[in-house]
Structures are given as C-alpha cells and as structure tokens.
Amino acid sequence: MNNTVALELKNITKSFSGKVANDNVSMTLNEGEILAILGENGSGKTTLMNMISGIYYPDSGQIFIRGQEASITSPHDAFRYKIGMIHQHFKLVDVFSAVENIILGVKDGKKYNVKEAAKRIEKIVAQYGFDIDINKKIYDMSVSEKQTVEIIKVLYRGADILILDEPTAVLTPQEIDKLFTVLKNMRKDGKSIIIITHKLNEVMEISDRVTILRKGQYIGTVETANTSEEQLTEMMVGEKIQLNIDRPIVENKQLRLKIENLSLIHDKIKMLDEISFDVFSGEILGIAGIAGSGQKELLETIAGLNKPTTDSKIDYYAPDSDKSDSLIGKSPNEIRELGVRLSFVPEDRLGMGLVANMNIIDNMMLRSYRKGKSMFVDRKTPHDLANSIIESLKVVTPNEYTAVRKLSGGNIQKILVGREIASAPTVLMAAYPVRGLDINSSYTIYSLLNEQKQNGVAVIFVGEDLDVLLELCDRIVVVAGGKVTGVVDGRTADKRSLGALMTKTEKYQQEEIKEEKQND
C-alpha cells in the first residue's frame, strides 16, 4: 500500500439552521486504500461525504485533492476532481438500460455513440469483475444490480475516488461478498474508496483504515488490523456497550395466530402468495427477506388494512382459549371490537404510525380517542400516557406539546412503540423498528420487545439486519417474492442459509412478473 494522500479534509465545519452537523472534522484518504467511515445515525457521515461530492458546501475548512486545494461547488465539480459518490438511494431512469443510464449526462464533447460507450463499459465490467448484463433495463434489475450500475456509472466518468454511502444496507450476504470482491479489485487498481457504514463486521472485513465520527465530531482514525469491534463500538458510541442481545426462554407457549394460505393481490400483482405460518405467545417471530418481498403487505394484511383473497385464513386464538376468531376481511376497528389486542408498529413511522405535525399527546390519542360516549375527546388520559412514556423510555423532547416530526428518529420510535405497548397487546407486530436508530435506542427497543415476549405477547419482528434477527428471534420466517421460502430456528440457523432462502425464488418470481406484464 502506498501512502500518497488522495484526499484531505481540514477543519471542515457545516451546520444546518444552527445545528452543527460536522464540527471541525479533519481526515485523510490515501491512494489505493479502502477507508471506512464509521458512525451512528446522525453522526454526520453522509453530510461530510456530501461536501466532498459537491452537494453541500462547507461553512468553513478546506478540502485538498492530491495536494491541491479544491473548491467543490457542485457534483459536476466533483467529477472534474475525479470524485464519484454512490448514494444510498439510487438515481436511475427506470425505463432506460444500464448503458443508457451510465452515459446519461456525460459531457465529454464526443458524439453520442451508444455502441462505443457499451464497449467501454464492457471493459470496465470485465476489469473489475462485475456481474451484470449492461443491456438490461433498470426496472428488471434487483437492488444489487442497480447498485452495480451506479458504481459503473461513476467509474465510467473516470472517478479515482469513490464514496459509497451505506452500500450493504440493502444487500444479501451473498451480494455483499460480490460487492466486496469488486471493491478489492478496484483497490488493486489504485482507486481510493470511502465506504460509509455502521456495521462493524463489514468494517473489519473490507477496510484498511477506519475513521470514526460521533455527533459531528471527528473521534479518530485507526488501522483496521490493529483494532477490534469492541474498540470501534466504544469510539463510536462514546461508552462501553454490551453488544449481545438477550433471548430469554419463555415456557408455556400458546398458539396465538394461525395464518394459512394467505394471498394478496394488488394491481394484478401477487404481493403475497399462499403464506402459511403459526405465531405463538411468548416468542419473537422474525421475518427476514430482501426489502419489498411482501413483509409490509403481510403485516398490513394481518392488521386488517388490506383485503386478502377469499380462501386466505388468519385465525386468532385468545389467551387460554381454544376458540378462534377469523380476522379475514375485518377492518382494524372490527378487529378491535372482537377484543383482539393487536398492536402494530409500521415501517413508515411518521406517515402511518404517527401524525408528524401533531404533538405527542394527540399522537397518543390515535389509538384511544374513541373511548367513551362523549362527543368530545378526553385529552387528560393521553396526556398522562404521554408523560409516562416520556419518562419511562427517556424520550428527549422539550415537552409533550412538541410536534413529533421535530423529534429525532429514536425518540419518534420510542413514542410509537410506547403507545403500541401501552394498550397491553396480545400480538405485537413491529416492522423495521430499529431502522435509523442509534445503538442505545436500538437496544431499548430490543429490550422492550423481549419484555413483551416474557409477558406472553406474540411478537412479530420484521428486520433487515440478519445478525440482529439471529440473535433476537426464536424462529425466523424467510419470505422471498411474497412466498415463504423457509422457517428456521433462530438459535441454530446461520446467516448464509438465511441469505440463500432470501433469494431462493427471486429469479423465478421475476420471470413470472414479466410474463404477467406481457399477458396484460
């Protein structure tokens, strides 16, 4: 490894409406190395990278590229300095092929020539070992393929410094392996790579050095070879943290929900395809799958928000009772009138679980405002509930009259989960409850879920981090393309086998959808 500096940041500060996102951050990136930027959500990783790629302009501080001071005022400028960034959310034109997307917007003064461009792109693909068909349309591509197109796009424009923002968040273990192989090839070729992440095992696997940010401050840079996950966590969080998630064993499990043959058709597309599994009290049932495999639809259907096909069955068994009630075709209200205490923490917290512009008290009322015959709402009880949740879950808020949109992600989630647990549920469904939360908030949520489990609640947990799923859940249902591809024991299963199940029917499913489209 050579130690020529490719990129150097000196005393970069950036603030938004008075809130400092980056405070006097200095760091360096050497040529031909992979540097991981590690930090919790909200630690300023993305903001810092956006300043390198020309999306933001720093309030103060300097950027040096290959020793020269640079002023990067636009993404276009960034490309002049051979810097390319691959964002978390892809920016591709769906109806274009990979080639068309890659050459879109390239101003090299040459005539527009798709064939010649395709040849050059093929060369890049072969050189770094990408696995992709460059003539495929974007709408036919999986998330991993789309990401590949984004990376090739940046390489095609001649970037030497690549910045990847949380590239592994949406990938399966197998796809992550492929990505890392490509990244290593690029390093061999002398490219300098910055990878933003908050997953420690990936940092240890891929990076040469790690730079840690915490709350907008630069904490330090360490050589990956000389560090450990424990040390990195401590630097990242600022305190020692027990990284293990509890998995208490609950005796006397009872069948709570029996789901059989559950299918959901939306806009002629089968979102759920004959799903069957059982949910027991006193256990956490994990649901794993690539984003968009039907997890959201599954939970919403159980909650009574979608109408499944008529031969579907969802039977609810009340505690200590052999009698079952069918939940099929019932609205959330009707389900509640049956006496089923079903709580649901949806994926879209502010758009579904809460009302962003309302204060904490009014959000508490969402579940309970109907109680009583009076035509006026009772704000006293929700007010007390709001105060008790703020206190018991340590919600950081100026007061209970603050609009929830003004709170941080972790606090928003505490409000939502707190409210859902307050109704003493018998079934608790949570979709991605720790997404975007810092480590401490995440562990608060895990222990809340465990507490519910020990109280005999049937907990359904949809997660994306396989490590967490494997540590927290008693059983894991794997879904792919709206089908259940396997139910595994959380204590014995491993990440690879889950990954394999997650992608099991993907190809088959895509072909099916394509066929359906043609039939239409």
Partner 1 sequence: MTNSKVREPLFHITKRDNITTKKSILIRVIAVFFSLLLLCVVCAIVGGEGIDVVLGALFDGAFGSERKIWITLQDTALLLGVSLALIPAFKMKFWNLGGNGQILISCLMAVVCMKFFGGKIPDWSVWILMAVLCIAAGAVWALIPAIFKAIFNTNESLFTLMLNYVAQFLVGYFVVTWSTSGSNVLTPFDQGTLPVLGNQYLLTILVIVISTVVMTIYLGKSKQGYELSVVGESQNTAKYVGINVRKVIIRTMAISGAMCGIVGLLLAGAIEHTMSESIAKNMGFTAIMATWLGHCNPIMVILTSFLITFLNRGMVSVRMELNLTSDAIGNVCIALAYFIIIASEFFITYKVKSPIFDKIAALIPKRKKAVKEVSEQEVVNEQSTQETSAKADDLVVESATDQTNATDAQSDDKQEGGEQ
With CB under 8 A as the contact rule, the residue among 17, 226, 252, 519 that binds partner 1 is 17
With CB under 8 A as the contact rule, the residue among 309, 408, 423, 440 that binds partner 1 is 408
- With respect to partner 1, which residue has the nearer C-beta, 100 or 362? 362
Q: Tally the residues of the chain.
A: 520
Question: Least Å distance between CB 202 and partner 1?
Answer: 22
Q: How far is CA 403 from CA 105, 307, 354, 377, 503, in A?
A: 41, 33, 10, 19, 41
One-character DSSP codes across 282-328: TEEEEEE-STTSSHHHHHHHHTTSS---TT-EEEEE-TT---EEE-T
Dist CA 482 CA 475 (whole Å): 19
Residues 417-476 that bind partner 1 (CB under 8 A): none
One-character DSSP codes across 148-160: HHHHHHHHHTT-S
Q: How far is CA 405 from CA 29, 70, 354, 392, 418, in A?
A: 36, 37, 9, 20, 16
x/- site string to partner 1, residues 240 to 279, per CB under 8 A? ----------------------------------------
With CB under 8 A as the contact rule, the residue among 4, 71, 388, 392 that binds partner 1 is 71
- The yes or no reply on residue 496 touching partner 1 (CB under 8 A) is no
Question: Least Å distance between CB 481 and partner 1?
Answer: 24
Residues 308-337 that bind partner 1 (CB under 8 A): 331-333, 336
- The yes or no reply on residue 500 touching partner 1 (CB under 8 A) is no
Query: Residue 212: beta bridge partners?
Result: 38, 220
- The yes or no reply on residue 399 touching partner 1 (CB under 8 A) is no
Dist CA 74 CA 80 (whole Å): 10
With CB under 8 A as the contact rule, the residue among 238, 241, 369, 435 that binds partner 1 is 369
Q: Residues touching partner 1: how many (CB under 8 A)?
A: 67
With CB under 8 A as the contact rule, the residue among 124, 328, 356, 487 that binds partner 1 is 356
- With respect to partner 1, which residue has the nearer C-beta, 73 or 228? 73
- The yes or no reply on residue 56 touching partner 1 (CB under 8 A) is yes
- The yes or no reply on residue 73 touching partner 1 (CB under 8 A) is yes
Q: Give Cβ neighbours of residue 149 (< 8 Å, ≥ 6 apart).
A: 90, 92, 98, 101, 102, 132, 138, 141
With CB under 8 A as the contact rule, the residue among 351, 392, 424, 517 that binds partner 1 is 351
With CB under 8 A as the contact rule, the residue among 237, 328, 366, 487 that binds partner 1 is 366
CA 315-319-321 angle, to 5 degrees, is 75
Residue type, 16: F
Long-range contacts of 320-327 (CB under 8 A, 24+ apart): 320/254, 324/258, 327/302
x/- site string to partner 1, residues 75 to 114, per CB under 8 A? x---------x-x-x-x-------------x---------
Write out the residues near partner 1 by the rule CB under 8 A: 13-19, 21, 42, 46-47, 50, 53-62, 71, 73-75, 85, 87, 89, 91, 105, 303-305, 331-333, 336, 344, 346, 348, 351-358, 362, 365-367, 369-370, 374-377, 396, 398, 402, 405-408, 411
